[in-house]
Amino acid sequence: MSTTMSKDPAGQQPTHTPTGLIALAWTLVGVPLVYGLYQTVKTASSLFGG
C-alpha cells in the first residue's frame, strides 16, 4: 500500500465547492419544491376530503 494521497481515476485532484454555494443551490431548488408539495397536498385534500 502506498502512503501517498490517492487521486481520482482521471488523475486530477478533487476540487472544493464552497459551502455557501451548495446552500444557495439547495435553497433555489428546495423552496419551489416545498411550495409545490404544499399546493399539491392542499389541492388533493380538497378534492378527496370533500
Cell of 6: 490517492
Q: Which three cell numbers stand for residue 8?
A: 481520482
pLDDT (0 to 100) of residue 50: 62
pLDDT the model gives residue 14: 86
* CA–CA dist 30, 36 (Å, integer): 10
Residue ranges per domain, the chain?
18-42
Q: Smallest Cα–Cα separation from 34: which of 44, 45, 26?
A: 26
Predicted confidence pLDDT, tens digits, the chain (50 residues): 555 665 666 778 889 999 999 999 999 999 999 999 999 999 999 998 86
pTM equals: 0.62
pLDDT value of residue 25:
97
